[in-house]
């Protein structure tokens, strides 16, 4: 079970299922917040799509990388709601049928989501009177998921930054689990190449599945700068790197295990995104919005309270629980169970420290909301 091959590591990629303390469902406030900030782009996109397609009788919507729990159905509820509202606004009295496909990897905890479907459908019936069908689609979004020309709207929130595999050529990235200062240029290149391949494939597959003039809204982690290659790409992984390194020096984790572990994740900059979309050629970019925050847990209260370490530690713990909810299955697949508690204890403390000085650090990460139309 330990140290699987690099490809099979991606098989283990999933948010932590169920609804326990460290589950994704209990720690997805941040992801939920992101959706509420990107919702207006999704709504705009839906309206434009419906106009262009002249209000079809059945609309098929896909949510890719839906994860498990309430978040997924929350986004779907807003999408369905917007569709129905738009039909009403233009005086169409018959609402369309809506077919909602929730996609994630086969090891995702679909059961937890599916148990929420009856109340989702009930709420829909009460509030929007739309007929809606929900299904789960267990497969990688780096393969075909739906029949040709069947989708009207594709939505994906905080998923496309996950790569299809750990990039090749990371053998010398021994002191980090991602792109972290200092690192050699080839580490960055390896990640960038894998992202280009993966994102291009993603667009090609979706272009086959989407009707002409169908829309796609992708929200994912990005990076602000284009020339600052050797800075940390994503602070969450840099902190996690430090934690694992500590465990190596404490003898809890073997050096070779740390050296062979790299997170299959890449947050591109805007130029990199535009370049792949343009080269792949199936979609037009309508707009790219940027959301400039990355720390999920703000500390309540005014600045003077920022000196209070216990508050920082509290926030650090919450952030650790969030990081755990999105990485635990991956870490267990490579390092085994026993690493989890110590790694996230450390993470909470590092995060507390980081928060106490974060005002003085540049934040290199942001969120992209990319709205696209199938040509």
The distance of closest approach from Cβ of residue 14 to its own copies in the complex, given in angstroms and rounded to an integer, is 11
Residue 221: name the closest of 178, 167, 176, 186 by CA: 178
Angle at which helix 340-357 crosses helix 235-249, to 10 degrees, equals: 130
The distance of closest approach from Cβ of residue 146 to its own copies in the complex, given in angstroms and rounded to an integer, is 6
Q: Which residue lies nearer to its own copies by CB, 136 or 268?
A: 136
Q: Which residue lies nearer to its own copies by CB, 22 or 131?
A: 131
Residue 13: name the closest of 65, 76, 73, 72 by CA: 65
The distance of closest approach from Cβ of residue 121 to its own copies in the complex, given in angstroms and rounded to an integer, is 7
Q: Which residue lies nearer to its own copies by CB, 108 or 282?
A: 108
**H or E element, residue 355:** helix 340-357
Q: Which residue lies nearer to its own copies by CB, 145 or 216?
A: 145
The distance of closest approach from Cβ of residue 151 to its own copies in the complex, given in angstroms and rounded to an integer, is 12
The distance of closest approach from Cβ of residue 275 to its own copies in the complex, given in angstroms and rounded to an integer, is 30
Rounded to whole angstroms, the Cα distance separating 176 from 78 reads 39
Q: How many residues does the chain have?
A: 375
- Return the bridge partners of 283, or none: 374
Could you give the 3-state DSSP secondary structure of residue 43?
helix
Please say whether the dihedral angle defined by the alpha carbons of residues 137, 141, 146 and 149, taken in this order, is positive or negative.
Answer: positive
- Helix %, strand %, coil % for the chain, to 5? 45, 20, 35
The distance of closest approach from Cβ of residue 131 to its own copies in the complex, given in angstroms and rounded to an integer, is 7
Q: Which residue lies nearer to its own copies by CB, 101 or 316?
A: 101
Cis check for the bond before 118: say yes or no (omega within 30 of 0): no
The distance of closest approach from Cβ of residue 65 to its own copies in the complex, given in angstroms and rounded to an integer, is 15
Q: Which residue lies nearer to its own copies by CB, 51 or 58?
A: 58
The distance of closest approach from Cβ of residue 114 to its own copies in the complex, given in angstroms and rounded to an integer, is 4
Burial of 248 (0-12, 13-18, 19+ CB in 10 A): middle
Q: Which stretches does DSSP call E strand in 50-130? A: 58-64, 97-104
Q: Which residue lies nearer to its own copies by CB, 1 or 362?
A: 1
Q: Which residue lies nearer to its own copies by CB, 65 or 222?
A: 65
Burial of 178 (0-12, 13-18, 19+ CB in 10 A): buried
Interaction site with its own copies (CB under 8 A): 57-58, 97, 99, 101, 106-111, 114-115, 117-118, 121, 131, 133-139, 144-148, 150
């Amino acid at each position: 079970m330990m140290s699987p091959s690099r490809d099979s590591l991606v098989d283990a990629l999933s948010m932590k299922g169920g609804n326990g303390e460290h589950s994704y469902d209990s720690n997805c406030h941040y992801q939920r917040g992101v959706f509420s900030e990107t919702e207006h782009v999704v709504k705009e996109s839906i309206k434009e799509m419906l106009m262009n397609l002249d209000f079809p009788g059945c609309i098929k919507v896909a949510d890719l990388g839906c994860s498990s729990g309430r978040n997924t159905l929350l986004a779907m509820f807003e999408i369905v709601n917007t569709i129905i509202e738009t039909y009403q606004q233009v005086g169409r009295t018959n609402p369309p049928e809506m077919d909602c496909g929730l996609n994630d990897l086969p090891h995702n905890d679909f059961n937890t989501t599916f148990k929420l479907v009856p109340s989702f459908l009930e709420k829909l019936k009460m509030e929007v009177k739309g007929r809606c069908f929900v299904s789960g689609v267990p497969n990688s979004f780096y393969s075909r998921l739906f029949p040709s020309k069947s989708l009207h709207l594709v939505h994906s929130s905080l998923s496309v930054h996950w790569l299809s595999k750990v990039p090749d050529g990371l053998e010398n990235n021994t002191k980090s689990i991602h792109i972290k200062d200092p690192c050699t240029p080839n580490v960055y290149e390896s990640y960038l190449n894998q992202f280009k391949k993966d994102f291009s494939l993603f667009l090609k597959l979706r272009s086959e599945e989407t009707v002409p003039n169908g829309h796609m809204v992708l929200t994912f982690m990005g990076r602000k700068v284009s020339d600052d290659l050797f800075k940390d790409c994503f602070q969450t992984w840099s902190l996690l790197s430090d934690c694992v390194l500590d465990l190596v020096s404490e003898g809890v984790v073997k050096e070779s295990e740390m050296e062979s572990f790299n997170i299959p994740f890449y947050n591109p900059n805007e130029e990199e995104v535009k370049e792949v979309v343009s080269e792949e050629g199936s979609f037009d970019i309508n707009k790219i919005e940027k959301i400039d925050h990355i720390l999920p847990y703000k500390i309540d209260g005014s600045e003077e309270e920022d000196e209070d370490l216990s508050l920082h530690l509290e926030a650090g713990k919450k952030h650790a629980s969030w990081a755990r909810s999105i990485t635990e299955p991956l870490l267990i697949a490579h390092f085994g169970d026993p690493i989890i508690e110590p790694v996230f204890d450390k993470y909470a403390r590092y995060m507390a420290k980081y928060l106490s000085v974060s005002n003085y650090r540049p934040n290199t990460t942001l969120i992209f909301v990319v709205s696209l139309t199938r040509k």
